[in-house]
Amino acid sequence: MVYHHKFATIAEAKLAVFEYIEGWYNRKRKHSALGYLTPCQYENQLYSQAVAA
């Protein structure tokens, strides 16, 4: 977790933020701009539409 954590270096903090964004936020959080789908669901939907076309 990133919150309330003291990091020894800037690199360690950057890695923790990257892992947080890539590991939880982007993949699991539903976005209103994507029709309330997760990014993975949205990508799968686009791929399915492209294959069907």
Q: What pLDDT, in 10s, does the model give residues 1-53?
A: 677 889 999 999 999 998 888 877 767 778 888 899 988 899 999 999 999 87
Query: Residue 30 carries which DSSP code?
Result: -
| The predicted structure's pLDDT at residue 1 | 62
How far apart are alpha carbons 42 and 13 in whole angstroms? 29
DSSP for residue 3 = T
Global confidence as pTM: 0.50
Structure tokens given for 43: 């990508």
Q: Where are the domains of the chain?
A: 10-52
SS3 6: coil
Distances (CA, A) of 24 to 16, 18, 19, 30: 12, 10, 8, 11
The strand ranges marked E within 1-53 are: none
- pLDDT, position 10: 95
